[in-house]
Structure 1
C-alpha cells in the first residue's frame, strides 16, 4: 500500500465501482491494478514522462506494460462504455442516447513522431481528436487522425462503430464542416445528420445549440496536462489517453 497519495488517485468507492473489470487470480500484498491506474492518471494529470513517474508507484516499465496491454485488449474502452450508461441512468436517461454531437479538436504534437499534418484553418501542426458525445458530454467514440484531414473524411469512421453497438435511431448534430454528408449518413447508418448553424455571425466564440456540449467535453480535456499536446507516437495510445481522462470524469459524475 502506497503511503503517499495524490489528488489524481481513485477514491476507494471509485475503485470498488470498477474493480470487477480488473479481475486477476494473482494474489499480492497490495492491489497492483489500482496502483497502475493511479499511476496512469497521475501521468495524465501532471503531464510527466513515463520514466519520471514518482517512486511511490510501480516501476514505469510495469505501468507502461499494463497501459499497452489494456489498450490492446480494449479494457478501458469497455469500462468507459459501461460507466457512461450508468451515468445516464443515474440522471434519469436511458442507457443509450437518441442524440449524439460530433466534432473534432486540433492539437499540436510533440517530437515523438507518428501521424501528423498541418491544419491550415486552425494553424495547428499535429492531430485531430474526433469525438462523438451524448448529451451528458460522455464519449461514444474517440478517433485520432492527422490534423490536415478534413472532418468529413473521418465522420463515418467515427459513427460506424457506434452503429454496430446500438439499435436505437439517432440524430447527429454537427457544424458546417460536415455539410454534404446528410444523405450518406442516412443511407449507410439510417441516422439523421442535423447541421447546426451559428446564430451569431460576429467573429469569435459563440454558444451554438447542442454543439456546446462537445465543446464542453474538449474543455474538460484541458484540465489534463498530458492532453494539452499529443505526446504519443501512436494514435491508438492517444485515443486511450483521452478515454482514460474521460473515464475518471465519468467516475466523478457518479460521486
Structure 2
C-alpha cells in the first residue's frame, strides 16, 4: 500500500463493489508485487486526474507497470464487464430492470454552409464567371 492517499483513490465502499469484478492474478509465474486495489487506484489517478502515464507520482510503481495492468484488463474486457455490472447494480437498486430496454444517443450539430463557407462560394462563383466571359 502506498504511503499517501489521493483524491482519485477508491473508497472502501467503491472497492467493495469493484473487488469481486477484478480477476485474481493467474497462478504460476512471477507473483504480483502490487495489490489489485493499488493498481486500480493508480489507473484511476491517470483516468480521473487527466495525468499522463509517465507523470504518475513518485510513490506509485513505475508507469509502465501501471499501464501494463490497464492494458491487460482492457484487452480482457474487464472495463466493459465492470461497467455493465455496476450499471446493473445501480438500476436494480433503483427498482428498475438490470438491462436497459432502450438507449439514447445525443449529438451536437453545428451549422455550416453546404459548400464550406462564403470564401468557397465566392471562389466557385469567380471561376464560373470567368468561363462564361
Aligned residue in 1 for 2:128: none
Aligned residue for 2:83, secondary structure, equals helix
RMSD: 2.3
Higher strand proportion = 1
8 A Cα contact 1:35 1:58, kept in partner:
no
Is residue 98 of structure 1 aligned with residue 101 of structure 2? Answer: yes
Task: Tell me the matched-pair count.
Answer: 108
Which structure has the bigger radius of gyration?
2
Higher helix proportion = 2
Runs of 4+ aligned structure 1 residues displaced above 6 Å come to: none
Gaps of 5+ in 1: 106-119, 124-255
Aligned residue in 2 for 1:117: none
Aligned residue in 2 for 1:6: 6
TM-score in terms of structure 2 length: 0.70
Is residue 16 of structure 1 aligned with residue 16 of structure 2? Answer: yes
Gaps of 5+ in 2: 113-133
Give the number of the structure with larger relative contact order, counting CA–CA contacts within 8 Å between residues 6 or more apart. 1
> 2:95 and 2:80 mapped to 1: Cα distance?
23
> 1:75 and 1:45 mapped to 2: Cα distance?
18
Q: Which aligned pairs between 1:1-255 and structure 2 lie closer than 5 A?
A: 1-22=1-22, 23-25=24-26, 31=35, 33-104=36-107, 121=110
TM-score in terms of structure 1 length: 0.38
